[in-house]
Structure 1
Amino acid sequence: MWKREKRRGRHAGGGARTRSFVRKLPALMILGGLVFDSFTPQTFTAIPLFVAAPLIAAPFFSLASTVRTGIASMLAVIALRLYSSTLPQVVPLIELLTLATVSVLAVVINGVVRRGNEQLASARFIAETAMRAVLPQPSDRIGGLQVAARYEAAQADEFVGGDLFAVADSPQGVRLVVGDVRGKGLEAVETVAVVIGAFREAAEQESSLEGVAGRLERALAREEARRGGLDVLEGFITAVLAEIPSGLSRVRIVNRGHPEPILLHPDGALEVLKPSVPALPLGMGLGEWPERTDEWDLPAGTTLLLYTDGLSEARNAEGVFYDPAARLRGRIFPGPEELLSALTDDVRLHTGGETTDDMALLAVVRPAAGQPDRRRTVRIVGAETA
């Protein structure tokens, strides 16, 4: 932990030092121009340094600071030419005209950058609002469970993506889904909205978790038909659905080609919940798929962690994938929110902050008492029990 905080502090300190240097750079350019011009023969000129100062200030400074930088550059050149008694000559006058032109251009650039930043901020706000409407944050307690969810964009300023999560309190218990839509942008968000809407309806109406998965499959088929058909490699969704029945210390899971969930026990032990039989993702359009529900014990204090491949496929500089099971084994967390915070911090440490895919995280803790037996049973709809 100490090493993580130390490294994070180094990154933050490096960014602060860079910003501080950029803010000082125009003044340093002017000062460097004064020194260079004062101690070199008249055949040498420092005009490029004076010209660069307002251009550097334009994209980083306010309008007033950009104007002041341009004026300071011109005053510095005038002072040098007065000192050398060369101001009335043609070349110094051309230098001043060039500097004045560049200063006006810097003001124009500053205005363009400011308007672009305002438009970008507006677009970010709209995208974030839309994403929150499609993917609302669940309550921290649902059906007697402690719940925490997190959506982490690959880029700090991006909010629109194809990862999803949802939690619903149904007559059969608490039902959850975490999924990853192939692709990004508005089409991915549309598909996320379809899946979330179908899940919320199915979670309330379907008597089994297999039925919920089937409803999602049919909803995607309708979406495919509405769009005039989607390429089988572009329209699929990996997803894991879970159900924690009321009054039972069990969790049922249907996994459709998604990274395996993890159970973290109160003593630091850990289980990776691998499906008994691998299944295809949703929306592959390859006909009916017999849903397989695996069951695991969910004793008191155990945390169920579901996540997308943005976590498990995050790489470091050497190309090594992040292994959530290995990183979490033996660790104890006071609650689901603390678990997700530790995970997001750790994956940033692993990748050096250079993640390339969004990730959705969902953690659920059942505080009610239960007896752990770690045994798993399997139910297969449309086939014999495995």
Structure 2
Amino acid sequence: MRVARLLPVFLILGGMAANLFAPEPYVGLPLLAAAPLMGCVVMRTRTSVGVAAAACLASVAIDLRIGRPLPATLVDLGVVGLIGLIGLWVNHLMSRQRGHLTVARDIAEATQRAVLPPPPERLGSFTVAARYEPAQAEARIGGDLYAVQETPFGLRAIVGDVVGKGMGAVPAVSAVLGTFREAAESAPDLGVLAQRLDHALERDCPAGEEDAQCYTTALLVEIPPGDGTLTLLSLGHPAPFLLHAGKVTQLEPTAPDPPLGTGLPEAGQGTSDTFPLPPDATVLMLTDGVLEARNRHGHFYDPTATLSRRTRAQPKDLVDALVRSVSRWTDGERQDDLVVLALSRTPAGQQKADQLAVRTQWTPAPPPLCAPNTSPALSPATYGNQQES
């Protein structure tokens, strides 16, 4: 980009040199005329005006230097000046387009924050990290979704993939996530939760509408408090990975249910699976944007190699490393929307240490020496007990 901004200067210098030293006269005029046009494409408006003025002055100076007649000098000045004005008009149009694009990106970012807000780093005894990369970078949002929250039943999370990508999938994403955030607090099990999500898609994203993208694969996760187990309900979605003790295990479901939007069994009939969850294990959920990423030879990406080297990494570092690895595998090309969500249970001892550290960050200020006595008299023993509490 820096070289492109210097190109108008090179064109002016080249036009001056051609007019002065070329065997044919006036051959540098096209270069002088091209300089303001190029400057208006790669520079800001004020700088573009300066380039156009410099090109006009260079044209007049060279014509006077080589003794060109006044009418011809005025013609050369008119040609360079006219092209400079055209370039400034183009620059104005491009500035307006950049302004519109900036507004569109701001709207897309606000939409993404509203639909897919980043999860907190800590939820109860869990450390959480998530990453979303849309296939259409300009859209900033697409057809993949995730959410995680604490509920009366423990930690619940969802990772999903709408059949489709881009802005056409946003209605389905909004319907699923909005229903999940509400129903996760009250649904007694993952089967009931899945049925409510399915009804939400049928209600808010009718598949018969033109360009509607409603069918959604999903993975529902529930981690009850304290019992060291993990319950999964797969709705046609890729199985998650469990990282523990230097090993990477994919938690395959016994019998996946059909995707959301295709009609699910009655409440409570979903096939869920329960797996042990050690205290320091990490659960990694992802979408097809990872597993179906291809390199230049058409080979699919295998996350096992990357994960096996980072089984003890913190969730954020693990997620970042996986996304970087996928980007290298595809040479930076985003072939599909991508979501990675990592949940790591903090060991009980570390959790207590973190809670103690938070409590000791604030200590009550001592009472003022001459404060007015506006409360009933307290005995020393009672006052000491209050401080301890």
The two structures have a TM-score, normalised by structure 1, of 0.84
Range that drifts further, 149-158 or 105-114: 149-158
1:104 equivalenced with 2:82 (yes/no): no
Amino acid at match of 1:129: A
CA–CA distance in structure 2, aligned partners of residues 233 and 120 of structure 1? 25
Aligned to 1:318: 297
Q: Corresponding residue for 2:20?
A: 38
Q: Quick check: 1:195 aligned with 2:173?
A: no
- The CA RMSD measured in Å over matched residues stands at 2.3
1:187 Cα deviation (Å)? 4.1
**C-alpha displacement of 1:369:** 5.6
Shift in Å at residue 237 of structure 1? 0.4
Q: Report the Cα distance in structure 2 between the residues aligned to 1:323 and 1:204, rounded to whole angstroms.
A: 35
Pick from 231, 238, 246 the counterpart of residue 217 of structure 2.
238
Shift in Å at residue 316 of structure 1?
2.2
Check conservation: 1:252, 1:294, Cα contact below 8 A: yes
CA contact (8 A) 2:168 2:212 kept: no
> Corresponding residue for 1:274?
252
Q: Which residue matches 2:46?
A: 64
User: Is 1:342 matched up with 2:321?
Assistant: yes
The match for 1:354 is 333
What runs of 5+ residues in structure 2 fail to find an aligned partner?
Answer: 350-389
Q: Tell me how far 1:155 sits from its aligned partner.
A: 4.4
The structure with more radius of gyration: 2
Take 1:246 and 1:228, find their aligned partners in 2: how far apart are those partners?
38
Using the TM superposition, name which of 21-30 and 326-335 deviates more: 326-335
2:60 corresponds to: 78
- Going from structure 1 to structure 2, the CA distance change for 1:43 and 1:83 (only over 3 Å counts) comes to closer
Amino acid at match of 1:99: V
Which amino acid in the other structure matches residue 202 of structure 2? A
Q: 1:95 to 1:356 in 2, by over 3 A?
A: farther
Q: CA deviation at 1:41?
A: 2.2
Q: Is 1:136 the counterpart of 2:117 in the alignment?
A: yes
- How far is the alpha carbon of 1:106 from its aligned partner? 1.0
Determine the C-alpha separation between the residues in 1 that align with 2:209 and 2:277. Answer: 39
Q: CA-to-partner distance for each residue in 1:173-209, whole Å, 9 max, x for gaps?
A: 1000011122344442222111111112221111111
1:315 to partner: Cα distance: 2.2
AA in 2 matched with 1:281:
P
Partner of 1:382: none
User: Is it true that 1:158 corresponds to 2:154 in the alignment?
Assistant: no
The corresponding residue for 2:127 is: 146
Counterpart among 174, 186, 196 of residue 215 in structure 1: 196
Paired residues, number: 348
Structure 1 residue 88 corresponds to structure 2 residue 67:
no
In structure 2, the CA distance between the partners of 1:84 and 1:231, relative to structure 1 (3 Å rule), is closer
Q: Please give the per-residue CA displacement for 1:50-109, whole angstroms capped at 9, x wherever unaligned.
A: 22212222132111110111111111111211111014243x433321211110111111
Over the matched positions of the two proteins, sequence identity in percent amounts to 41
Counterpart-to-counterpart distance in 2, 1:347 and 1:163: 16
Secondary structure of 2:346 counterpart: coil
SS of corresponding position for 2:182: helix
Task: Give the deviation of 1:139 after TM superposition.
Answer: 1.2
1:242 counterpart letter in structure 2: V
Q: Secondary structure at the match of 1:116?
A: helix
Q: Does residue 1:23 correspond to 2:16, yes or no?
A: no
